[in-house]
Amino acid sequence: MSTRALIYKIESDNSVKGIYCHFSGQIEAVGQILKESYKNPKKTQELIKLGNISMLAETPEETIAYYRDIDKEQSELESWPTFSNWDEFDQNIRKNNNLIDYIYVMVPYNGYINSKEAKHWTWLCSEYQGNFKEY
C-alpha cells in the first residue's frame, strides 16, 4: 500500500508548482527527507523538474522519477498542476485529490509572498484534508 504525497514549492513569480510522490509520503519518511535534505530552494527546484516520482531520496539524482527512470512515454506523469498564487493553490489543491495523504509546500520563512527576496525557507505540511502547518 502506498502513502501518497504532493511536493510543491512557491516559485519566484509566486506561482506554486509541484509533483506527485507515490511511496512513503508520511512525515516520518518524505517529510523528514524534505526537511533534512531539501533546505535549499534550488535543490527543491531540481527535484520538481524531474516530474512525478515513485520514491523520494536525499538527492534528485537518487530519487526514482517516473519520466526519467521508469516510463518515458507517459507524459501525464511529468508534473501536477501549477497554480498562479498561494490562494489558488490552497483553494484547489484538495479538489479531486482524495487519495493524497500528505501535501508538502516549501515556502519563504517570512510568509507566502516575495519569494524572490526570501533568504530562508521552510516546509509546511497538510495531512489529509487538514490545514497547512510547519512541522
From the centroid of its chain, how far is CA 1?
Answer: 20
Q: Say how far apart CA 104 and CA 127 lie, in whole Å.
A: 9
83-127 confidence digits (pLDDT tens):
999 899 988 887 766 789 999 999 987 654 555 666 788 999 998
> Can you tell me whether residue 55 is helix, strand or coil?
strand
For 123, residues 6+ apart whose C-beta sits below 8 A from its C-beta are 31, 34, 35, 38, 104, 105, 106, 107, 134, 135
Q: Say how far apart CA 4 and CA 112 lie, in whole Å.
A: 24
Q: How many CB atoms lie within 10 A of CB 7?
A: 28
**What's the pLDDT score for residue 117?**
63
Q: Say how far apart CA 64 and CA 47 lie, in whole Å.
A: 10
Strand partners, 127: 102
**What's the pLDDT score for residue 109?**
77
20-72 confidence digits (pLDDT tens):
999 999 999 999 999 999 999 999 999 999 999 999 999 999 999 988 888 76
Q: Say how far apart CA 14 and CA 6 lie, in whole Å.
A: 18
Q: Say how far apart CA 3 and CA 121 lie, in whole Å.
A: 25
The answer to whether residue 77 scores a pLDDT higher than 90 is: no
